[in-house]
Structures are given as C-alpha cells and as structure tokens.
Amino acid sequence: MVAQASPTDSNDGMANEDPTATVTGHADHMREAQKPQGVRRTGETVTVEAGLARVTTRTASLHVKAAHAAGTTLPLNPAVIVEATRRSTPAEDHLARVRTARTLALPDPQAPGKAPVLSRDLVSSNVAAAAWSAARVLTAVGPLDTETLLEAIDRSRRFRHRTPFTATELSTALTAAGATAGPDGQWCAPPDVPVPNRDRVIVERAVGRDLTRAGMIEILISAGYTHSSATGRMSSSHPLFERIGPDRYRLIGTPAEPDAPSA
C-alpha cells in the first residue's frame, strides 16, 4: 500500500516514504532539536540525521523546527523552571542543561562558579586542603560543628603525616571557602561543592543505622571501594564514619538510638 504524503512532503520526491520510519525517527529529530539555539546545522548534519531516521532532509528539518516551536508553548511547572534555570554545579553537564533550557525557551542557567582559591597568606596549604575535605563532608551529611569536623579530618589523616592545626585555623579556612556558621555553631557547606558518588551511596545506606564493623565494610564495598581498601584503611579512616563503641559505628553527625540493634 502506498503511503500518503503529507502536504509538507508533496514536492520533495518522497511521497512513498515509509510512515513507520518517520515515526521511529522522531526520537532522532528530538535529539537534534536538543542542540543549542543559534548553532548552525550544516547540510551534512541534517543529512546524517535524516539518514538515521530514513526520512528526507526536509522532513528532518521540519521536525527540528517543530520541536523548538513546541518547546516555547509547553506549560511548565514553576518547580521545573527553577530547576532548569538554576546555576549548574561543577558535577553537572552544564552544556546539556543549557540545551534543555533553550529548547524550553528558558534563560540559560549560569555556569558553575569557580571554587575560591585560599590564599597562603590567609591559611597554609595543609589547612586549605583540610577545609575542602570538611566542605565535602558538610555537603554529604549536612551541618556539623567545628569539633566534629576536626575529628573527621583527623580520622581521614590517621595514616598520613600532617601538621596539626587548630579549630580557629579551620574556621578561618572554611569561611574563606564560602562555608557559613550559624548561631548554634553548626557549619553549612559552601555552594557548588560536588559530592562524590561514593559518599552519596554511603550516606543513603548508613543514615540512621547503628553499624557493626562488618556492616560498615559492606557499605564501603557497595559504594565502590575495593575489598582490601574497605577492610583496611577505609574501615578506620573514612571521614563519614565514627566509632561509638566496641564494634559499633555510625554516620558522622547522625547519632543512632541508644538501644538500636547493630547491623
């Protein structure tokens, strides 16, 4: 059976184009439409897209234009607008977020902010490194006080030789890095500090739990650490865990119930 040509295709010499191929290729056109507004699509690009979808170049171009036009009329939830236009974080694909915003006719999100450089006139490189480690801990688990952060840093450095520093030096470095302390002395993380995927997994699986060493090691391995690393240094030096008793551990800053059974 001969496929019916659409009015837009009546003069392109492809009246017998397979309509199922056109539908199948729509996803490819949508992918092409995700490219930034204002980026010139060469004839070669359109030809490749059309070839992948088994449609004519004119059909491919029309689908791209239709996708852009539809994006400008989509009713968007305010939460979606906020999410699409907020500043990108260093851990995100900024270009992909710009393409999405432009397809939806929204303003471009701002590029990730650069981490402030801590001057050696202000703090030593040793303290600066500790401050960024503390910032990652804060981003992973939430607000903590200076003493808890110092304990976490000391634990993470127990197998390394580092010059000791004071709580005042750490507070100075955290402030310079963009962290803020509330009236209760709890530090909040600086903006745009990425959380490693391993830390995300650890927090998700350890929060609120009273763990045995075996349970902690199991979480470390599930987060991506090797068996030798999890059973070795990480089991006694990972900054996100603290020892609360014989064979008892918990996520830093999240005390478990006193009578909670160990996992």
Q: In the structure, what pLDDT confidence band is assigned to residue 14 with cuts at 50, 70 and 90? A: very low
Q: In the structure, what pLDDT confidence band is assigned to residue 240 with cuts at 50, 70 and 90? A: very high
Residue with token string 């507004």:
37
Q: In the structure, what pLDDT confidence band is assigned to residue 22 with cuts at 50, 70 and 90? A: very low
pLDDT in tens, 170-198: 999 898 888 999 888 899 988 778 788 89
Give the H or E element holding residue 177. helix 167-177
| Gap between the Cα atoms of 241 and 253, Å rounded | 9
pLDDT for res 112? 77
| Gap between the Cα atoms of 132 and 50, Å rounded | 49
pLDDT for res 253? 85
Q: Percentage of residues in the chain with pLDDT exceeding 90?
A: 27
Question: 79-93, 168-182, 233-247: which range is least confident on average?
Answer: 79-93
Q: Is 70 helix (H, G, I), strand (E, B) or coil?
A: helix
Q: In the structure, what pLDDT confidence band is assigned to residue 138 with cuts at 50, 70 and 90? A: very high
More confident residue, 126 or 48: 126
Residues 6+ apart with CB under 8 A from 112: 87, 88, 89, 90, 92, 94, 192
- Asked whether the whole model's pTM tops 0.75, one would answer no
| Gap between the Cα atoms of 153 and 238, Å rounded | 9
More confident residue, 42 or 19: 42
pLDDT for res 215? 95
pLDDT for res 252? 92
pLDDT for res 79? 78
Question: 44-48, 160-164, 241-245: which range is least confident on average?
Answer: 44-48
DSSP letter string over 13-29? T-TT--HHHHHHTHHHH
Pair of tokens at residue 174: 């955290």
Segments making up each domain of the chain, as ranges = 7-71, 125-188, 197-251
Look at residue 214 and tell me whether its pLDDT is greater than 70: yes
Pair of tokens at residue 105: 């006719």
More confident residue, 177 or 10: 177
More confident residue, 77 or 2: 77
